[in-house]
Structure 1
């Protein structure tokens, strides 16, 4: 009756329901890769049929174009395929700015419920793409799904971070990443050619990316709203208390309510923190810098490059079905994210991030050695495979899951939505840039490409050691105090980055 630290059934339901959005995010990221050649053939057929003017100009042109696009070599097919992949990140980049607005409009639960309309619409467009122009419908569906995932990747960690008990905040926050890697793994398995990754079933494979949204829509009405949202933003203390009881069971909620009351008082002393004011504010500058660097370390670590190389390395090592080895990487992903769930509230966020980044740095150097000498020494391919598995393992221990929920811990209720929106946009933008530029960097550096990532990882490890505080077991106001302590001559209050003295001068003027 005292602590309220127990994991109740309602809390488990709420976290599971929210994490379905993360599962959909992961599935949508991974699903497009397995049926690439099949989708390209269908694009080629569609484009050949849609070019009747070619037949008028040259009777043999349509047949020639059809054959080219059947093999996936025609420039139009390549362009539309690249757009199908890249548009997902573009949608996420755009919508990540709206996370705070959607989360505050009607609440976290209703916000997740509203955006599910986008996921269902995207799933239907892709699932029914054979009915019209496959390339147009898939690209449109991927754009809408990316827009949904940009919102979901912010709303889910925000909601889980606000409802999780302090003792379990790290473990429950890590479930966002766990759901993502499970979604990727599911897409890899059912994307095998003898399941759904074939010429007949690939639209269903893409369309299923909207299925988690249907289940989540059925469960969300059973989930309590975030108590912090109810109390701090809406001032509804009684409703917040009821929500706490639903989430934590019967216990003395006075300590939690008092913490929220103090946070509300601080939030009431300053206007609503917008994205622009957060960027300009000197009060939150250190927290924001740490949050953005955490997300940059996730995307610039080289994890996407590892996945890019893995299939080729597995094939060279003599594995007849490299796709199964790639699925093995997905299994490793899932297992070590579970390890992170178990350790994050014991070892701490800072420790796991340091171990993960440092381990990845060493593995990147090992990958460089393996890629350089694998043609001279056959056993080097197996050395490279081991480096891949270890690299992925270290990523999922810390740098993979922790950035998603650390932002919600670093900021109080007022600036939290704007901070999550900025961090999400940073994540999506860097992901997009890596995807667009990696092939050029790889062509330039060849087998030494991972030396670049090793240098970046060393820099991120050093930054984490010097600047990132430990947030394990601390209240939100305690974490904020850590950053305030390091500010020289910090103003007592700040409004949109303008010190109180400046505000008074402006008022008198």
Structure 2
């Protein structure tokens, strides 16, 4: 058998060398497969030569060599440990506490402004019947919603530090501003304007982290689980809402004196704990490898960062491939955008303007879904629905929100981004339609409160598994590295602006039309489904160059 194989190979090698010598182009490539050496695949047994002495031959010529190397190194490959990602996942979880402080504010502020101690200390008006201070509805809306205005400004200003000096420095700066805002809210217990200014500052910080944390996670999380890790931001938002509601309930039920200031001060003091958690995580987390490569040109530092977060060696093939692809993509991006200047995030190609519009609308419809209608004012809404303990109801709803978000971590990869957004928009549309109809036309009917809570829960499940986490994933994947910071900041700012309008106007509107306000969100959800169907591309599993190609091919 060995002699037959050698004779066959000798003939094929001689024939191939003759072809090469007759070629006038020394660099001509000759694609050669296994079939030119062996009569059949079954003859690939042994005694085959280790290499073929030819010039400029396609890699297929060396298939046998590769096979032998694989066989020789099989034991080594089997012994090679799989990437150890526990540390990387832990760091991503800690960094995602930037989302927790968003949820914490959503969870505590509605309850705080409803507490007797807060109203008595800060309320500018006096109830002549009881002698107690209170807030007018429009002022409650302003105190709550000004946080969102701070978020708009912070996302467009402080977040830029992450683009200039690094994602970590941007988040360090955000935490400093956040702690300063907490201090101003607590420095006095009698001036609502001082509390108001403190909320602006905390909003600035949280608006910045709303840009930087998803960006940092999308750039630094292990490649194998990057989509799931990016959804951690929204998971932590839901966890923050739940914990905020739980603390409000404990303070409301556990304090003997409802006028004790600790009932509204303790939730704010806890913000320092969350800020310290984020700072600790940042200390142990390397800077984004993408930032180090594309902004600083630090190849070795980028390799260290990528290898650390992916649990592999710095000289691993995956690390080198990441560096090569990132630098190549940066070169292509700079070549295509040469001379575009300050407004490259709009004028750049392929279709940066359209991509920005898609990102803006994704984040806008996330807010116009009406989710914060429930979380900011849930205690007030369900009090009007004649429920005995609206604080307990808020805890139940926020628990549903938190648990369901784990499903979002799975669905974002299983179904893809576009399908999740479409499914969520339609599911929430149906639930909000039922909620608004029952609240408007059958509020006094037996069991109406239970029906409203049931459909609110289903609505929240849809949000937590789709629009909630997936919107952030889409926006973090939609833009090229060169314009990602400014594009994500603009998209985030629209989310904050619409959040401001909803939180400001909800008390006034519900006082006028009650639960019919839900029909507005119903219409927005229908528009969201149409928009996703027509304009949102599928970004699952696509690299930056893949998404560029997708938009190049679109009309």
TM range (shorter): 0.7 to 0.9
**CA distance in structure 2 between the partners assigned to 1:74 and 1:152 by the alignment:** 30
Q: Which residue of 345, 360, 378 corresponds with 1:278?
A: 345
Q: 1:84 to 1:317 in 2, by over 3 A?
A: closer
Cα deviation for residue 67 of structure 1 reads 6.0
Length, aligned pairs only: 465
CA contact (8 A) 1:92 1:147 kept: yes
Q: Which has the higher contact order (CA 8 A, sep 6+)?
A: 1
- Verify: 1:39 aligned to 2:131, yes or no: no
CA contact (8 A) 1:228 1:240 kept: yes
1:287 maps to which residue? 355
- Verify: 1:124 aligned to 2:183, yes or no: yes
Unaligned runs of 5+ residues in structure 2 are: 1-76
2:132 maps to which residue? 71
Equivalences for residues 393-432 of structure 1 within 5 A: 393-432=461-500
CA contact (8 A) 1:355 1:398 kept: yes
**CA distance in structure 1 between the partners assigned to 2:463 and 2:399 by the alignment:** 13
**CA distance in structure 1 between the partners assigned to 2:454 and 2:340 by the alignment:** 47
Please say which of residues 203-212 and 288-297 is displaced more in the overlay. 203-212
1:223 maps to which residue? 285
1:358 maps to which residue? 426
Q: 1:127 to 1:299 in 2, by over 3 A?
A: same
2:104 maps to which residue? 27
CA contact (8 A) 1:315 1:321 kept: yes
Please say which of residues 358-367 and 341-350 is displaced more in the overlay. 341-350
- Verify: 1:157 aligned to 2:157, yes or no: no
1:334 maps to which residue? 402
Quote the RMSD (CA, aligned, Å): 2.8
**CA distance in structure 2 between the partners assigned to 1:7 and 1:315 by the alignment:** 49
- Which digits, 9 at most, give the CA deviation of each residue in 1:421-449, with x for residues without a partner? 10011111111122233345446655433
**CA distance in structure 2 between the partners assigned to 1:128 and 1:89 by the alignment:** 22
**CA distance in structure 1 between the partners assigned to 2:398 and 2:303 by the alignment:** 41
1:457 maps to which residue? 525
TM-score normalised per structure 1: 0.84
2:548 maps to which residue? 480
Cα deviation for residue 235 of structure 1 reads 1.3
Q: 1:152 to 1:408 in 2, by over 3 A?
A: same
Unaligned runs of 5+ residues in structure 1 are: 49-64, 488-509
CA contact (8 A) 1:68 1:74 kept: no
**CA distance in structure 2 between the partners assigned to 1:5 and 1:357 by the alignment:** 39
Q: 1:26 to 1:313 in 2, by over 3 A?
A: closer
Cα deviation for residue 5 of structure 1 reads 8.4
1:261 maps to which residue? 327
CA contact (8 A) 2:88 2:311 kept: no
Q: 1:99 to 1:274 in 2, by over 3 A?
A: farther
CA contact (8 A) 2:110 2:379 kept: no
1:90 maps to which residue? 149
**CA distance in structure 1 between the partners assigned to 2:504 and 2:96 by the alignment:** 29
- Which digits, 9 at most, give the CA deviation of each residue in 1:327-384, with x for residues without a partner? 1000011011111012211221111111111100111111132113324521233221
- Verify: 1:209 aligned to 2:237, yes or no: no
CA contact (8 A) 1:185 1:327 kept: yes
Q: 1:290 to 1:28 in 2, by over 3 A?
A: same
- Verify: 1:179 aligned to 2:247, yes or no: no
Please say which of residues 436-445 and 98-107 is displaced more in the overlay. 436-445
Q: 1:261 to 1:371 in 2, by over 3 A?
A: same
**CA distance in structure 1 between the partners assigned to 2:346 and 2:430 by the alignment:** 34
Q: Which residue of 3, 10, 14 corresponds with 2:87?
A: 10
> Which entry has the higher C-alpha Rg, 1 or 2?
2
**CA distance in structure 1 between the partners assigned to 2:423 and 2:401 by the alignment:** 16
**CA distance in structure 1 between the partners assigned to 2:89 and 2:106 by the alignment:** 26
CA contact (8 A) 1:286 1:483 kept: no
Please say which of residues 169-178 and 258-267 is displaced more in the overlay. 258-267
SS in 2 for 1:469: coil
Please say which of residues 113-122 and 448-457 is displaced more in the overlay. 448-457
Q: 1:441 to 1:320 in 2, by over 3 A?
A: closer
Cα deviation for residue 154 of structure 1 reads 0.4
Please say which of residues 174-183 and 31-40 is displaced more in the overlay. 31-40
CA contact (8 A) 2:175 2:205 kept: yes
